[in-house]
Amino acid sequence: MGGPISLRGGLGPDLRYERGLALARDYDTGPYGSPIGGPPSYGGGHLSYGGYPGHNSIQTTQVTIPSDLGGTIIGRGGDRINRIREESGAQIQLEPSTGQEERVITITGTQTQIHAAQYLLQQCVRQSAAGRKYIEQQQAGHHGHHHR
């Protein structure tokens, strides 16, 4: 009878690594949710395969919000936007209001930080009365319920 199978070939850590990748994929259900091709990279974390942005590479994305939701997102004395910055780890910049209908929020960070910031911003909007009203108007506009 052979003894216990040796895992000296690095099978253990590799399996754990693959499982970690699978978990990361499950978490990132977004435009980049497709499986990563190629062997796992153990080099610098900024390498990416086939157009898949590395999780550690810094990216910038912009989100537009209605101007009247600016105050909702900033919060009293900036407390709400600061909490979103802290919780997501992303840099978030809200352009000053210029009297236009929309304001631009610039989010800078890793893909994970950007996802977190976008989620927290959405939650912030959903929890406010002005935000819920805006969402209802958006849904009505998109589905055309009130236009027929």
Average pLDDT, rounded, for the chain: 72
Closest-CA residue to 70 (of 126, 119, 123, 130): 130
Determine contact, residues 117/56, Cβ cutoff 8 Å: no
Say whether pLDDT at 51 is over 70. Answer: no
pLDDT tens readout for residues 52-77: 445 578 999 999 988 889 999 999 99
What is the pLDDT at residue 110? 94
Q: Is the dihedral of CA 79, 29, 107, 18 positive or negative?
A: positive
Say whether pLDDT at 23 is over 70. Answer: no
Helix (H) or strand (E) holding 14: helix 11-27
Q: So what's the architecture of 59-143 in CATH?
A: 2-Layer Sandwich (3.30)
| Residue 99 main-chain phi, psi, to 5 deg | 85, -5
Which residue did the predictor score with more confidence, 21 or 131? 131
Average pLDDT over residues 120-129: 90
Say whether pLDDT at 16 is over 80. Answer: no
What is the pLDDT at residue 73? 92
What is the pLDDT at residue 59? 94
Where in the chain are the domains? Answer: 59-143
Say whether pLDDT at 19 is over 50. Answer: no
